[in-house]
Structure 1
Amino acid sequence: MSDLLMWLPGILMSYAAFLLGIASPGPNVLAIIGTSMSVGRRSGISLAIGVAAGSFCWAVLSVAGLTALFAAYAPLLTAIKIFGGFYLLWLAYKAFKSATLAHDLEARTLSGGSRSAAGYALRGFTIQMSNPKAVLAWIAVVSLGLHGDAPLWVGIVIVVGMSLLSVGLHILYAVAFSTTTMIGIYSRARRSIQATLGTFFGVAGLKLLLDET
């Protein structure tokens, strides 16, 4: 029980960072929304499943990579924390900047015409895995909950938890944002969401930079 209480705050911090990151839609989420609106919910859900599968792969690679690096070279933990902290501060800056801009949510449609359900899932997976910024974001988010002396179960909980969140939230986007009404509701709340995101990432970034453990 004591081990759980010791690692739980970091795990929850990783979850929260991931949740708020998805609350600020990037190209992948905008593609899901656009597909749901232009093609249909079924295709949007297939695309969402593919994106979530890519998120799972990035989560596994990030946790496994960081665990291996910590085991081989423990002092690297400091460098990872510094990188993660500054990257989160950069995300905070982007979120605050976005909150000042007067633009609405712009859904995107995929090129190449309609596809089968499997085709949309594969496209979602490919989009997520080919995103060069994804690995940087995952390392930063995972480093909030994973430290050099973390037991194996911490990495597993982080991977499983964020993978389940990814599946559920991406599918929720596909279902909820298949109507223009939801697009309008989100657009009106966008600035508040971005400001909240910026505040959280700023606090999380400073926590990583100032944490002495």
Structure 2
Amino acid sequence: MDQLSLYLPGILLAYSAFLLAIISPGPNVLAVMGASMSVSRKAGLALAFGVAAGSLAWATLTVLGLSAIVAAYSTALTVIKVAGGIYLLWLAFKAFRAARSKQDFKVMELEGGQRSQFGYAAQGFIIQMTNPKAALAWIAIVSLGMQKGAPFWVGGIIVAGTFALSMLIHALYALVFSSPGMVALYRKARRTIQTLFGCFFAAAGARLLLSRD
């Protein structure tokens, strides 16, 4: 229990960063919205499951990779945290810029016509795994939760928790955005939401850059 309390703040911060990252519309979220709005709620849910499976794969690969690197090189964690901090500050900049923009977000329209439920799930997995920014995002997220000398189970908790959050949030997007009224409501609140995202990412990025753990 003492060990858990030691690493819990970092784990919760990693969860918070991941939660805000997937709430902010990216290719994965826009694809789920598009499937729910233009095809059906079931298609959106299948796509959401595929995206969550992609999140699980990225999280697992990142934790295993970072653990191996940190074990081999004592200064690696510092370098990783600096890279993660810079990326979070970049996300903050993008969020503030999006908040100032008058241009509304556009959902992603999937090509290739309608698919089976498995086909939508596979498409969601591909969208998540081929996102060129995913590696940097996961390095930043895992870095928030992994302190120097952290046991392997900390990474396991981060992987399990982020997978559960991904399933929950993307499924909620699929359910909520099958309703035109909720789409309109989200668009009205978009600037406020993006500003809050920017503040959090800026604070998390600064924490990583200033961390000595």
* TM bucket normalised to smaller: over 0.9
Return the offset for 1:108: 1.8
Q: Could you state the TM-score of these two structures normalised by the residue count of structure 2?
A: 0.98
Counterpart check, 1:24 vs 2:24? yes
Matched-pair contact (CA < 8 Å) for 1:30–1:108: yes
Q: Distance in 2 between matches of 1:9 and 1:46?
A: 33
CA contact (8 A) 1:56 1:159 kept: yes
Residue in 2 aligned with 1:110? 110
Match of residue 97 from structure 1: 97
* TM-score, normalised with respect to structure 1: 0.98
Shift of 1:22: 1.4
Distance 1:104 1:185 in 2: 12
TM-fit CA distance, 1:27: 1.2
Please give the alpha-carbon distance, in whole angstroms, between the structure 1 residues aligned to 2:108 and 2:153: 38
In the alignment of these two chains, the number of paired residues is 213
1:67 and 1:148 in contact (8 A); partners too? no
Q: Is contact 1:98-1:194 (8 Å) kept?
A: yes
Q: Deviations over 1:19-63 (max 9, x none)?
A: 111121101111111111111000111111001100000000011
Q: CA RMSD in A?
A: 0.8
The offset of 1:105, in angstroms, is 2.9
For 1:35, the equivalent position in structure 2 comes to: 35
Query: 1:132 Cα shift?
Result: 1.2
Does residue 134 (structure 1) correspond to residue 134 (structure 2)? The answer is: yes
1:83 has 2:77 as partner = no
Judge conservation of contact 2:23–2:169 (CA < 8 Å) in 1: no
1:127-166 mapped onto 2 (5 Å cutoff): 127-166=127-166
Cα distance between partner residues in 2 of 1:155 and 1:108 = 32
1:32 touches 1:173 (CA, 8 Å); kept in 2? Answer: yes
In structure 2, the residue matched to 1:47 is: 47
For residues 191 and 69 of structure 2, what CA distance do their matches in structure 1 show?
38
- Report Cα offsets for 1:128-184 as digits up to 9, x if no partner: 111111111011111000123111111111000000000111011001101211111
- 1:190 corresponds to: 190
Partners in 2 of 1:56 and 1:3 — Cα distance?
25
- Contact kept in structure 2, 1:35 and 1:43, CA below 8 Å: yes
Is the contact made by 2:27 and 2:127 (CA closer than 8 Å) also made in structure 1? no
User: Counterpart of 2:24 in structure 1: which amino acid?
Assistant: S
Distance 1:38 1:205 in 2: 36
Residue identity in the other structure for 2:147: H
Percent identity (aligned) = 56
